[in-house]
Structure 1
């Protein structure tokens, strides 16, 4: 998937968990789950979040109330004997029978009402959790769109003001002849950014990352790391540098190295 981040924040996974997708959309999501571990992890996180919220807000009757209800439905042998002893005539016996039956019926109605009320409360909490999840998803999309807009503004600023930024085209080394990328460098602002739309580097595994270097007075200066799978739109800001004379990219262990591995030189370009 070319833009996995956008897909994760699109809201379709929340709708999948809630069962609000068509069969075709469900089939596509399940294919993505099988293909991408990130998608599977996100679906599990959404399911766990909704389940945790529903459980944490569930309302259960207290143990004392539950015991009183159950005990009231049972009559001990001693109580039965006591009732039998106090029945002097048939009319009194009938009265107690009807009174007891009415009490049990009223108790059962009360229990049913409590169960229905509890179920409605659980449904309300579940609906609230769904609304909160949808609101968070919408907020994430807005933040992502704001970032994209800011990146695009920066992209236009760089290419519309060539006097402030120098565009350095890095070309592939013998180790990676097809590699290429463009670095925008502002000597005045000491800013360094990668034009992600120009990024064309061989895929790196989970244990390695590409590291950008600036050559200053013949010495390499670390400018940060990036991946070949970074979102190919907008600009990626790297570390600041002053007096750069050239830029180079090497393949390093994940997180970067103190010094460049020259045997893993992937691309280089002079200012």
Structure 2
């Protein structure tokens, strides 16, 4: 194999290594012992990888400067002890590299930056949190997109030429009650929008009824301003709509004496 082919294979090997993400994980302490040996050999053998490693180290150092926090009072002593233990336990070839790295870390610690530099788990956690935030934003976007489509469908239904509109008015202690019923018989759809709903005493709710052949049939309990779908089949047979005040959660039978609003159907106000 000639020299050019050897160089081509070597360059490809270096490129694959740099793109693997191992070096990035190594810098933040997220690699195994076996991976560490491989990475350190690659750094020692290839100038391109050494340069990439130095750049990552510099970026991490700048990150530490930007986000510096006060280190624990005994951090200096912990680092010195760790350096001494490492120098006693490693082989001579590896010893020089670790000693230099330990001195750099110790200097960073003394300047108030080493604490963050040492907290690899904190940096990894921030990466995880950022990823989670991005995923949450994606979910929010999907949710908002769904809500937008629902709103567009509601507006299309409301504005359709064959949708009848019934505005129910009333007053509760001089506060206005406004409920709008939309009914499209050809489409077989009906819903209500609640524009104003005066507060009631505890244990009470409003309830919407349809008068079908003289019998009051419940359509919905009204205790918030959210739009509600109601039965188009019932409206098809009903002569009018009514709102009463009932016990919280609604009643089986309408309290006609507590009627607060009524409107005949098939008459657009």
Q: TM-score of the superposition, structure 2-length normalised? A: 0.49
Rg larger for: 2
